[in-house]
Amino acid sequence: MTFYYVLLFLTRFHSDPRAGMPLFNAAFVPVTPVKIAGCLTVFAVLVIPRPKDAVPRRRNVLGVVYFAFAAIQILEVAVFRLPMPADSLSALVSFGLFLIATRALVSTEERMRKTVRAMILASAFASLWLYKQHFLQHFARPDGIEGDSNYEALTLVTGIPLALWMVRYETDSWWKRIGAACAGFMVGGILLTESRAGLIAAVVMGLAAVVLARRKALTTALLGITVAAGVVLAPAGLVSRFHHITFEGSATNGDEASSRIHFELLKAGLAMIESYPLTGVGLERFKAVAPDYNSNLLKVAGRRFIAHNTYVQIAAETGLPVLLLFMVLITLALMNCRAVRHRGNEPLAQMATAMQLGLIGYSVAAASVTAEYVTTLWILIFLSQNLREIAAAFSAHDSQRPVEVASRAIGTIGRENRRAVDILRLQKVEGSAGGFDDIGGAGDQRRNMTSQ
């Protein structure tokens, strides 16, 4: 598990020049320190036996769907002889290794808890780069470890619900405090990025939390306090960015230009999907060919961009079938979490709720950010199946306990009943013996009286 926790930590820094630095190439895959950690983790999976208290594995299609999602994209590149998209293919291989390691290693509740801790600690630690860039380097919009403010905000958004879960359901008070500190750093980091997509996703997550919460009034009040605090503490530029959303006309500043570019990119992406609905234009080719499908794009943007919409990017580059598989993966993760929420174990059920909220936040933000390779998304998807297995094992154990208790109670009642029957029989025997003696005595007395 040590290799796995190290891998969790390093994946958060995959864009950092040190952790993500290419060391050499293995075929089309650039080998980085993160991939080396992934290979070591998979090797450990092969040689280390499963723990004795590991929960039973359940049949599922999540792994099959992911490998179909990755294989189709690789096959499209090979069949149509497209330029080698090294970054995308490398990411697909990395996530495949992570899936294998996660499915094999996170097999107990304790390991699941430690996995959440490692993920949140890594994300909170990475958010410190935002504070350094804002307060020490005076960046207008810090872009953090991810190198992009929107990606950084999205990564933080998907992890915040689990940080709040630590505050409420960790068993040790120190971990509760650590979770609270991490949640604070992550929320502050989102505000510093001034990401409209991240903030909208956070608000939608808050509304979803109210819907899913048992104490809706309390959750609504906490959401209101958080939003009010965010408005007060947010940088001035964040509010102005929402005032400069426009979809037509000439842009007068960078924020208006961003909105206009998003709109033109959407039209280009839809044109690609209409032209190549099954195969797309090719992995990592959206940026290169977008002006061919919307001549107005270069006039507005002045240069080439990716789609800035995860769903459009996937469908335009690799086709609607791949987009469908991507949506199926998110849906399977949501269904896994929903199944766990109906189990009896409260901490695991609330962990599932936190994962659901993270996935909802991602799904909302992905409509304005190209983020199919955000690591936190895949961590949540893969962990959802493990969490379902762990919760099912707890549910089975809990369902057996009433039977065991009832059996013991029935056994006890049976023994008491048998003891009571034995006592009654003994009393009857003793009572019968005494009655015959009295009758015999009375008869003798009458015979004596008769003889007299």
- pLDDT tens for 30-76 read 777 778 888 888 888 888 888 788 888 888 899 899 999 999 998 98
Look at residues 91, 148, 90, 89 and name the one whose alpha carbon lies nearest to residue 282: 89
Quote the CA–CA distance of 353 and 208 in Å, as a whole number: 10
Quote the CA–CA distance of 95 and 41 in Å, as a whole number: 13
Is the pLDDT at 305 greater than 50? The verdict is: yes
pLDDT tens readout for residues 205-226? 888 878 777 777 777 777 677 6
Look at residues 400, 384, 388 and name the one whose alpha carbon lies nearest to residue 342: 388
Query: Could you tell me what percent of the chain has a pLDDT over 90?
Result: 31
Q: Which two tokens stand for residue 393?
A: 């094992």
**Mean pLDDT, rounded, of the chain:** 80
H or E element that contains 29: strand 29-31
Confidence grade of residue 269 (pLDDT, cut at 50, 70, 90): very high
Beta strand residue intervals within 296-452, DSSP E: none
**How many residues belong to the chain?**
452
pLDDT tens readout for residues 397-444? 555 554 444 445 455 555 555 555 455 555 554 554 444 334 344 344
36-40: Cβ within 8 A, 24+ apart: 37/3, 37/6, 37/7, 37/10, 38/7, 38/94, 38/97, 38/98, 38/101, 39/97, 40/3
Q: Which two tokens stand for residue 229?
A: 């605090």
Q: In terms of pLDDT, which residue wins out, 448 or 352?
A: 352
Quote the CA–CA distance of 381 and 166 in Å, as a whole number: 19
Q: What was the pLDDT predicted at 129? A: 92
Confidence grade of residue 323 (pLDDT, cut at 50, 70, 90): very high
Q: For residue 101, report the phi and psi dihedrals to the nearest 5 degrees.
A: -65, -45
Q: How far is CA 364 from the centre of its chain?
A: 15
Is the pLDDT at 314 greater than 90? The verdict is: yes
pTM of the model: 0.80
Q: What was the pLDDT predicted at 238? A: 55
Q: What was the pLDDT predicted at 427? A: 55
Confidence grade of residue 15 (pLDDT, cut at 50, 70, 90): confident
Q: In terms of pLDDT, which residue wins out, 314 or 421?
A: 314
Confidence grade of residue 445 (pLDDT, cut at 50, 70, 90): very low
Rounded to 10 deg, the angle between the 173-193 and 109-131 helix axes is 40
Q: In terms of pLDDT, which residue wins out, 240 or 179?
A: 179
DSSP state letter for 132: I
Q: What was the pLDDT predicted at 235? A: 59
Is the pLDDT at 258 greater than 80? The verdict is: no
Confidence grade of residue 244 (pLDDT, cut at 50, 70, 90): very low
Is the pLDDT at 18 greater than 50? The verdict is: yes
Is the pLDDT at 202 greater than 60? The verdict is: yes
**Across 198-202, 231-235, 338-342, least confident range:** 231-235
Rounded average pLDDT over 379-402: 79
Q: In terms of pLDDT, which residue wins out, 78 or 117?
A: 117
Q: What was the pLDDT predicted at 253? A: 47
Is the pLDDT at 448 greater than 60? The verdict is: no
Rounded average pLDDT over 190-216: 82
Confidence grade of residue 451 (pLDDT, cut at 50, 70, 90): very low
- Using CA atoms, how far residue 99 sits from 311, 348, 372, in Å, is 22, 21, 16
